[in-house]
Amino acid sequence: MTSKPITGRDVRIALVGCGRISGNHFDAFRKIDGLQLVAVCDSVPERARAAAEANGVPSFTSFEEMLHGVACDAVAICTPSGLHPQLGIIAAKLGKHVITEKPMAISLAAADELVAACDAAGVNLFVVKQNRLNAPIQLLKRALDKGRFGRLYLANTTVRWTRPQEYYDQAPWRGTWEFDGGAFMNQASHYVDLIQWLVGPVESVMAKTATLARRIEAEDTGIAVLKFRNGALGTIEVTMLTYPKNLEGSITILGEKGSVKISGTAVNRVETWQFADYDDDDKLVEATATNPPNVYGFGHEAYYRNVLKVLRGEATPDTDGRAGRKSLELILGIYESAKTGRDVPLPLRVTL
């Protein structure tokens, strides 16, 4: 069972969770003809009302009341991560397409339940991975797909950001194991996604995490060492303790015939681009640089353009539930290794 394409009218989207990331979704809706925000919901009434007034739509504090009270085709879920699966399942059972922020869940069992519910209902499940759509990252993916690196040797992604204690104190769910996770699961999850998407499946992971300065349950700092199935090695370095502000969000890939580093605070500009053989894409490198106002970048608009095309029946999803599950599995492997002190093979047991 699959839903019919939506044609001849706007695609109507209701959004739940009017916190920090919702502004990127609202901006995307305003810029894309064919998408219409029809309602917002938040458990904090003042936040729901403010978002509703800013966007000219009704507000709700009950998710199910919103779904029953307003006609919509899809639901954008921007709540704490631990709530993504249960809200997505509710929406799917009512025949709504599901668009969920990262990570799609904080356990593999919950992620699989969400995928199964969307499959059973015949609706699409989109997992927002906007950094994949950054222009420099797209250029790097093309180089990898063309085989320009030859054999891959080493990959690294580094997230040196800052989140002060005030950030965690703003909402009681932040930094908790039940609803959020730590630096790997929340802030750096896009970078974990990028390294496995670009370099390939991970065979095993060894990790250390620590809570060094923030009063939270989960980690504020961590390092992971990866072995990829193709033989390459990789590292992920993450901290939310950089002084005094966000310093770097980067990815580096080194191979026998090429070296590339994409840096900035949000993988937004090419720092190194060297290959043994010329390709016309080399002329595009300088034009890919952007200067985003925050670490979220500009990818939400591009992501929603794909969502619209999919719901029109004109494209396939950039990242669906199964793609979103892959990076979640790696993050949970990192946590398992940090907890046990052992090298953890992938894939994981589904109980995690």
Distance CA 202, CA 152 (A): 13
CB 127 within 8 A of CB 317: no
Distance CA 262, CA 276 (A): 18
SS3 sequence of 285-347: CHHHCCCCCCCCCCHHHHHHHHHHHHHCCCCCCCCEHHHHHHHHHHHHHHHHHHHHCCCEECC
Distance CA 77, CA 297 (A): 19
Distance CA 211, CA 221 (A): 6
CB 334 within 8 A of CB 222: yes
Q: Which domains does the chain have, with CATH numbers?
A: 11-130+300-317 (3.40.50.720), 131-269+328-345 (3.30.360.10)
- What pLDDT does 1 receive? 45
- What pLDDT does 291 receive? 73
Cβ atoms within 10 Å, residue 128: 27
Burial group, residue 132, by CB count within 10 angstroms (0-12, 13-18, 19+): buried
- What pLDDT does 289 receive? 85
pTM (global) more than 0.85: yes
- What pLDDT does 3 receive? 79
Distance CA 265, CA 39 (A): 33
Listed residue (80, 79, 42) closest to 58, CA to CA = 42
Four-residue CA torsion sign, 137, 143, 149, 150? positive
Burial group, residue 112, by CB count within 10 angstroms (0-12, 13-18, 19+): middle
230 Cβ partners below 8 Å, 6+ apart?
152, 199, 200
- What pLDDT does 351 receive? 61
pLDDT in tens for each of the 352 residues of the chain?
467 999 999 999 999 999 999 999 999 999 999 999 999 999 999 999 999 999 999 999 999 999 999 999 999 999 999 999 999 999 999 999 999 999 999 999 999 999 999 999 999 999 999 999 999 999 999 999 999 999 999 999 999 999 999 999 999 999 999 999 999 999 999 999 999 999 999 999 999 999 999 999 999 999 999 999 999 999 999 999 999 999 999 999 999 999 999 999 999 999 999 999 999 999 999 999 877 665 555 689 999 999 999 999 999 999 999 999 999 999 999 999 999 999 999 999 866 5
H or E element in which residue 209 lies: strand 202-210
